[in-house]
Chain A
Amino acid sequence: MTAETTSGSSPLGAWTARLAELAPAVRVTERPFLTQLTLRVRDAQAQAAIGPALGVELPSTPCSFTRGTGPHGELEVLWLGPDEYLVLARPGVQQSLEDAIRAALGDAAGAVVDVSAQRTTLALSGPRVRDVLAHGCAIDLHPSAAPTGTCVQTLLAQAGIVLLVSDAGRDEFTLLVRSSFASYLAAWLIDASVEYRMVPA
């Protein structure tokens, strides 16, 4: 059973206004209700077969993600482990996307799981976004070390996150956080931005 779900209450729905106040130093917006599927596949042939079904190749480089457009619209495939990927797509395509991946997977060992509500997604940008992240994230986010296409699993403060460098040149990041930690993370982001709100860049 996979619900075609595009609405409801998102984990940070109640935080929209408070997060918006961080602009222009940092712009934080939730991208709620995205389709998110965990994909597990080891076999190289099966991995290769899934790319065409999605319209984008699975990332082959650790700690990276790929982006493209296919039958299910624009989507991103995140490398989370040697045989583990997270597929991000527009809201409401859980079932059709899962079906397409399963078809491409065939008999190969693997798994597809709808985890759309497991994490929520935040878009972060702005001139001080790297500063704010640096208060809680040990990863080097300098464009030379984390170019566009970087995808890491790490901690932001005390919450586990998946962090994507969406556009290094434009200071754009995408952050995924477990739903239960989302309020903590929002509170932390607001707190960490205090100095930068006072003194705009």
Chain B
Amino acid sequence: MTANFRLPVGGRVNRDEALRFSLDGRPMLGYRGDTLASALLANGVHQVATSIKYGRPRGIMAAGVEDASALVQIEEPFPEPMMSATTVELYDGLIARGLPGQGRLADRPDPARYDAKHVHCDVVVVGAGPAGLVAALTSARSGARVVLVDDQNQAGGALLGSDEYFDDLGSPAAWVHEVLAELRATPGVLVLERTTAFGAYDDGFLLALQRRTDHLGAAAPKDVARQRIWRIRAKQTVIATGAHERPVVFADNDRPGIMLAGAARTYLHRYGVLPGRRIVVFTTNDSAYTAAIELAETGVDVPMLLDARAVPPEGLVAECAARGIEVRAGHAVTGTEGREHITDVHIAPLAGTGHPDTIMCDTLLVSGGWNPVVHLFSQLRGALRYAPELGAFVPGEELPDVQVVGSAAGALDLASCVRQGGEAGRAASEAAGFTRPAPVPLPTSDARVAEAAAMVLWQVPEGAEPTADTRFVDLQRDATVSDVLRATGAGLRSLEHIKRYTTIGTAHDQGKTSGMIAAGIVAEALGVKIAEQRPTTFRPPYTSVPFAALAGRDRGELHDPVRITAMHSWHVAQGALFEDVGQWKRPWYYPRPGEDMADAVLRECRAARESVALMDGSTLGKIDVQGQDSGEFLDMLYTNMMSNLKVGRIRYGVMCGVDGMVIDDGTVIRLAEDRFLVTTTTGNAAKILEWMEEWLQTEWPHLRVFLTSVTEHWATVPLVGPRSRDVLASLAPELDVSNEAFGFMSWRDTVLDVTGGVAARVCRISFSGELAYEINVNAWHGRALWEALMAAGEPYGITPYGTETMHVLRAEKGYPIIGQDTDGTVTPQDLGMSWAVSKKKPDFIGKRSFARSENNRPDRKQLVGLLPANPATVLPEGAQIIESAHLPEPPVRMLGHVTSSYASAALDRGFALAVVRSGRDRIGETLYVPVADDVVPVTVTDSVLFDKEGTRRDG
């Protein structure tokens, strides 16, 4: 069937720019300025899809975001699911498919760019209909910074669906054009078209989605963000979001060709498209008369208008009569016929005289009144009030700094809308501090005004309950009146519960046409007043928002910040593999050609134990603690004593939470009487600084202590191994590196022979048990220091090592990693570190918990070593530990689990650290570790497996 429902002239489409598109394989033509829906209607296509549950044909019922049935999957230029044909702007090459409910995400990455932008203003106006335009212009003329947000590709709102004589300018379009031109020319005004405000939050924060290049299809420039999330912060908010027309429910109300009356006006005036050739109108209010009259004026056959009201508006009836439209008052549609398209309507009197009849038609227009778009107001937690004259909810209270105007507030005539817009614009700019707004002359029009009150009618009453109910409340969910009655019959009374029970209002359209009707039917069924029913809460987003837009530029390399050290480029150039530690990239190991990870780590370990090796330790958290009371403060934070540490010396410290569980460890070095430098684990640096600040600021504000993060000021290089002293000596001519002059757990400042002399702080600490120095320089010299150490160590085969080797070396010595060997339930005593818990200090964080009986149970899990019976075995970390050689029937008593496990070069075997119940009492025992189908016997040992006597520490 080829049909042309496009008028030869009229509408805001460009007939010189034809666009090719297809639906379900059928090629068609539309024009620039069309939506997919208007282009389909111009081709005589009403049916877009079939319904999700019953497979019934469904078509275009609206002209905007409220449409519940015309869902498509876009296939080209890029797959996008769940798009409403009424909101997709047509572009050349659009290929779409009708969707029965669910769509399909693309199976390839989206090549388009998405981004976000913040904008601040005095006044944000949502909606560029007549009320919004007047509000925005009034504010703009006051000098306020204004953002005007509108979801259409052009301003005008409801005016786009009309062509009454308007103002002195002639047409609504001319007036809109003039207002917009002034707004655009006013500094400080931002007009955002194609932008949907989808979320309203506290303090004037508004989120909006702008579709910037969607309408260009495949021709969209690649470097321009396709969609943008606007993060708008406004002092004053004016909501002018208009109203959605509401249908009336009757049997077979879902056939293609049944459409809202206002939508037909929009298709006529905005797109120059006729919805059909023979049109019947069914209404409960005056607004649909205009649709009937205007369509008749274009030459369309409009045989009949059914007005549910017993007394119709006299003037409008006369206008209809003049155009050959028969008005039947007190009548309603009781059913329809047709398959892919409506062919007949069945009508009957609602009460009193008259008899049922059947009228042939190809289009049925319906109006059940108008629902103010109160979504954003409700999202802001504004209470809604039921307005019985509208049959809809309207804003029911004043919210600070928020105004709702025009149809969104229930005003349905132009004069009220523009008056409210002007008042709101003035009030908003005054509240924002702009005291002399210039008034905007309010436009007038010859649009028909309502003569008679509307009738509120949710559904056309039925005599008997039908067996197969086709009275659809929510077309997208295929939910009917019977479904609502089943819910109320089951005892549900709350609209929230009924919504979830029936799924009405949970589809892509979120019940924009169905929610109010469902509330009405529920009230009727329960015999209660709607005003006493709490309406469902509107939540963001107002319309669906693609995840791609929300993700924005946080993709690929920008997904999460990558933190790097001063030596990072060297590690990359050397082919290091990296481990993510928080946001840091740390070298994991440095494989040589042909090496796998195990080979590389064994080689790196051997170098550290047998000669000299170095690693990048710059990521270690470092906090400068300064002030007269620093010692006292650290005594409270650490389990051991710090105030008696001598200047020039270093002490290992353990920090516990108030529950006495270990939260971090590190070294504390005393720089001066009133100054310390403490280190934290890499991943905990920020958390520990916050922890320290919290105690300082909330519990001990009297202490003269100041904390400063210096993590990134320093580049830190642990230099490890028996030859480390030789390497350091060659670079530190002024430093006596002998064990006598520079002993373990002390630090020295010196100048290194690096690029003409670099100041360094060298600490004699060891996380491997080997002779080791931790060299700290200003990070600007990190790379130079590293390269100098590599050169100086060359005669000894100096070897860079990564975090994996660090882990092996420390595990061989039984040094725990907080967060790996501990999990928030481990005390210092469990780790065998009673020596680090002061008996002398009167108090410190966690001390009280050490006296709890739970902390002193002999069967607490304690850190021990495990040696698998087969030296080649490397146990999986996390493996459970049991008592028996065979896995018993569940429940199995777990004694603990493996926390760290490696192959050791020094021990020439696999080994593990584990937390085990009564672990220290079990040293020497054989326990068992189930691994896949095997049960591996292991010997429990002391946690220190290598160099128990500590002979290697001093070289």
Interface residues, chain A, CB within 8 Å of chain B?
1-3, 5, 7-11, 14, 32-33, 38, 40, 83, 109-119, 131, 134-140, 142, 145, 157-159, 178-181, 183-184, 187-188, 191-192, 194-195, 198
B783 to chain A, nearest CB (A): 5
Is B201 an interface residue when CB atoms closer than 8 A count as contact? no
Chain B stretch 677-736: residues in CB contact (< 8 A) with chain A: 704, 706, 708-714
- Please give me the 9 A-B residue pairs with the lowest Cβ-Cβ distance, nearest first: A8-B780, A111-B626, A3-B759, A111-B706, A180-B563, A140-B120, A109-B704, A40-B706, A117-B779
Are B564 and A117 in contact (CB-based, < 8 A)?
no
Question: With A110-B706, A138-B231 in contact, do A9 and B783 touch (Cβ < 8 Å)?
Answer: yes
Indicate whether B553 reaches chain A with its CB closer than 8 angstroms.
Answer: yes
Interchain nearest-CB distance for A4 vs B (Å)? 8
Partner of A180, one of B557, B565, B708: B565
9 contacts between A and B (CB under 8 A): A2-B759, A5-B781, A111-B706, A135-B117, A157-B554, A181-B561, A192-B115, A194-B113, A198-B221
Q: Which residue of B lies closest to A118 (CB)?
A: B713
Range of interface residues on B (Cβ < 8 Å): 35 or more
* Given A109-B628, A117-B713, A135-B117, A9-B778 contact (CB < 8 Å): no
**Residue in contact with A40 in the complex, picked from B554, B626, B711, CB distance below 8 Å:** B626
Other-chain residue from A7, A33, A119, A135 in contact with B116 (beta carbon distance below 8 A) = A135
Contact A8 B781 (CB under 8 A): yes
Which residues in window 563-580 of B have CB below 8 A to A?
Answer: 563-566, 569
Q: Does B758 contact A (CB under 8 A)?
A: yes
State the Cβ distance, B702 to closest chain A Cβ, in Å.
10
Minimum CB distance partner of B558 in chain A: A188
- The interface residues of chain B lying within 8 Å CB-to-CB of A179 are 566, 712, 779
Within 8 A of A (CB), among B859-904: none
- For residue B563, which residues in chain A have a CB less than 8 angstroms away from its CB? 178, 180-181, 184
As a 0/1 sequence over residues 752 to 789 of chain B, the CB contacts with chain A under 8 angstroms (1 = contact) are 00010011010000000000000001111111100000
Instruction: Tell me the nearest residue of chain B to A183, going by C-beta.
Output: B564
Whether A180 contacts B117 by the Cβ 8 Å rule is no
Q: Are A192 and B553 in contact (CB under 8 A)?
A: yes
Q: B561 to A158, Cβ gap below 8 A?
A: yes
Of B233, B627, B711, which contacts A109 at CB under 8 A?
B627
How far, in whole Å, are A191 and B758 apart by their CA atoms in the complex? 36
- Given A138-B231, A142-B145, A158-B554, the answer on whether A178 and B712 have CB atoms closer than 8 Å is yes
Pick the residue among A117, A139, A195 that contacts B780 (CB under 8 A).
Answer: A117
Whether B560 is near chain A, meaning CB under 8 Å from some CB there, is: yes
Which residues on B are within 8 Å of A, measured CB to CB? 113, 115-120, 145, 221, 223-225, 231, 233, 553-554, 557-558, 560-566, 569, 584, 619, 624, 626-628, 704, 706, 708-714, 749, 755, 758-759, 761, 777-784
Is A111's CB under 8 angstroms from B627's CB? yes
In whole Å, how far is B279's beta carbon from the nearest beta carbon of chain A? 46
In the complex, residue of chain B having the shortest beta-carbon distance to the beta carbon of A119: B712
B624 touches A113 (CB 8 A): yes
Q: Which residues of A contact B115 (CB under 8 A)?
A: 135, 192
Q: Are A8 and B708 in contact (CB under 8 A)?
A: no
Q: Which of A119, A134, A137 has the most CB of B within 10 A?
A: A134
Are A134 and B554 closer than 8 Å at their CB atoms?
no
Find the B residue at minimum CB distance from A33: B780
Q: Within the assembled complex, what's the spacing in Å between the Cα atoms of A142 and B624?
A: 37
Of all chain B residues, the one with the shortest Cβ separation from A158 is B561
Cα(A181)–Cα(B706), bound, Å? 24
Return chain A residues, CB-CB under 8 Å to B117: 131, 134-135
Q: Are B710 and A115 in contact (CB under 8 A)?
A: yes
Whether the Cβ atoms of B749 and A180 lie closer than 8 Å is no
Give the residue of A113, A192, A195 whose beta carbon is less than 8 angstroms from that of B626: A113
Complex: A195 Cα to B778 Cα, angstroms: 38
Please, which residue of chain B has its CB at the minimum distance from the CB of A7? B780
State A144–B546 Cα separation when bound (angstroms). Answer: 35
Known: A109-B628, A158-B561, A159-B561. Is A140-B233 also a contact (CB below 8 A)? yes
The interface centre, meaning the residue of B224, B233, B561, B784 with most chain A CB atoms within 10 A of its CB, is: B561
Residues of B within 8 A of A142 (CB): 120, 145
Contacts of B755 in A (CB 8 A): 7-8
Inside 8 A of B779's CB, which chain A residues have their CB?
11, 117, 179
Contact B778 A184, beta carbon cutoff 8 Å: no
**Are the CB atoms of B553 and A191 closer together than 8 Å?**
yes
Q: Which chain A residues border B714 with CB–CB below 8 Å?
A: 117
* Interface-central residue, B565, B626, B713, by most chain A CB under 10 Å: B713
CB-CB under 8 A from A134, the residues of chain B are 117-119
Whether the pair B628, A10 counts as a contact (CB closer than 8 A) is no
Closest to B776 in A: A1
CA distance A191 to B115 in the complex (A): 10
- How far is it, in angstroms, between the C-alpha of A26 and the C-alpha of B553 when the chains are bound? 19
A15 CB to nearest chain B CB (Å): 12
Docked CA distance A179–B778 (Å): 12
Q: What is the CB-to-nearest-CB distance from B186 to chain A, in angstroms, rounded to a whole number?
A: 15
Q: Complex: how many Å from CA A187 to CA B555? A: 12
Q: For A109, list chain B residues within 8 Å (CB).
A: 627-628, 704, 706
Closest Cβ of chain B to A13, distance in Å, is 9
Partner of A5, one of B231, B561, B778: B778
Instruction: Decide: B780 and A10 in contact? CB cutoff 8 A.
Output: yes
Instruction: List the B residue with the shortest CB-CB distance to A181.
Output: B561
Residues A184 and B758 in contact in the complex (CB < 8 Å), given A9-B784, A140-B233:
no
How far in angstroms is the closest Cβ of chain B from A162?
Answer: 13
A197 to chain B, nearest CB (A): 8
